[in-house]
Amino acid sequence: MSSSQHSAELPNHVGILGGGQLGMLLCLRARQLGIETTVLMDDAESPAAATADNTIIAPMDSLEAVARLINCSDVITFEFEAVNDSVLDAIDAAEARNEVMANPSPAVMRLLKDKGLQKSWLRDEALSTLPFEMLEAGTTLDDLLARPGVAIPFVQKARQGGYDGKGVQIIHNEEEAKNLWPVPSIVEPALIDCVEASVVVVRGTAGDMAAYPAVTMAFEPSLNAVATVISPGEISDTIAAACRELACRAVDALGSAGVFAVELFCTETGEVFINEISPRVHNSGHLTMDGFEHDQFEQHLLAITGRPLAPVTPTAPATVMLNLLYRDDQAPAHTGYVYSAALNDVGSAALHWYGKKDAKPGRKMGHINATGPKTSTALTNAQAALQHVRDGAFSPTPYSKETPSQ
């Protein structure tokens, strides 16, 4: 247990489960806030190793390693959803003994990591979501199609383990339906003509809340992964307000602290449905790093440690984010270190590189944020910056732990 647990001081040591780019970016912001971090990661070359104050290298389901993380932390938080139940149980028990706090709570993590439980909760809370059916492992297509309301096309989502487009498949026709996954899943209607939006909501330990404007997302079809995020989203003010209201109601109902990304479907007829909720900082919120005075990583740290939330203030009228999904012509993919680089010669743009050692097609290697007086300008700046990345036309400086990133 960290020493500040014994005093009235605010928590000042955050333990993070997960050492990927989200953990890396949380640690960068924590250093600016004067908050110490310890990250549990299963690979010493994970991105967060470059920015964490302390690391514990062990399997993510190691209860001994989790106990060490609890022992040195005031607050535990999570970089990913798929946390082992035994790990959540250990954190829950430590919190009950007042040894540590956990934000979001283990109960919320259990709920949201299982898409079946999450959808059932949304329905029970009267939070707008698409109708769905639960599939047990081995459910046949005939059995599924015999259920009232189920028809092709539909979407199958594995109940656990899906992320970045993995664990989701759209069934367009009977031929594709022959490849129904034999795993516990949910099935819901496929909305062919809709806009996918996201609202990043932050909730403090006292129930105080803030929300960033609704963004809209475009996807790389072959990977079903987010390619472009635009803020403010390309939806009407009325729909944007409906997205924000629904997202805030959902996060408030969860009753836990931290940043939550609420992904939504917006239909042509003006309906808004919650797709899913992620209990963590999120890819759809990365543009807050350059498009707002206080980003989602800072807000998450403020929220989970009981500090006042920061105002949501944009730095420009429009911001666009491009995900850098690995391609062979992206020159920096082999640099293997974490950095940010301003690309001012192509407009107001910045590159954020995650320092992943292994590159493979489709993997998220970094992202570009660009701002502008309107969306079209921001998008032009982002695309010009992307070409610079592919050309290797910049000189990045590796992040140094000795000098916190500004």
List, for residues 271-313, the tens digit of each pLDDT value: 999 999 999 999 999 999 999 999 999 999 999 999 999 999 9
State residue 290's pLDDT score: 95
Q: How far apart are CA 190 and CA 254, in angstroms?
A: 27
- Reported as a single tens digit per residue, the pLDDT across 215-253 is 999 988 777 788 999 999 999 999 999 999 999 999 999
Is CATH 3.30.1490.20 the classification given to domain 131-189? yes
Q: How far apart are CA 15 and CA 232, in angstroms?
A: 33
- Reported as a single tens digit per residue, the pLDDT across 170-185 is 999 989 988 899 999 9
Residues that constitute the known binding site for ATP: 115, 157, 188-191, 196, 275-276
State residue 149's pLDDT score: 84
383: tokens are: 């695309």
State residue 344's pLDDT score: 60
- Reported as a single tens digit per residue, the pLDDT across 362-390 is 788 889 999 999 999 999 999 998 888 77
CB atoms within 10 A of CB 198: 26
| Residue with tokens 């989502």, as numbered in its chain | 157
The bridge status of strand 75-78 relative to strand 154-158 is unpaired
The string of DSSP codes covering 245-264 is HHHHHHHHHHT--EEEEEEE
The answer to whether 282 and 332 are in contact (CB under 8 A) is: no
pTM check: above 0.85: yes
- Reported as a single tens digit per residue, the pLDDT across 20-51 is 999 999 999 999 999 999 999 999 999 999 99
**3-102: CATH number:** 3.40.50.20
Residues that constitute the known binding site: 115, 157, 188-191, 196, 275-276
CATH superfamily for 194-391 is ATP-grasp fold, B domain (3.30.470.20)
Taking the chain, what is the end-to-end CA distance rounded to the nearest angstrom? 30
Percent of the chain with pLDDT over 90: 72
> Residue ranges per domain, the chain?
3-102, 131-189, 194-391
pLDDT of 267 higher than 80: yes
State residue 395's pLDDT score: 57
Percent of the chain with pLDDT over 70: 88
The answer to whether 201 and 262 are in contact (CB under 8 A) is: yes
pLDDT of 163 higher than 90: no
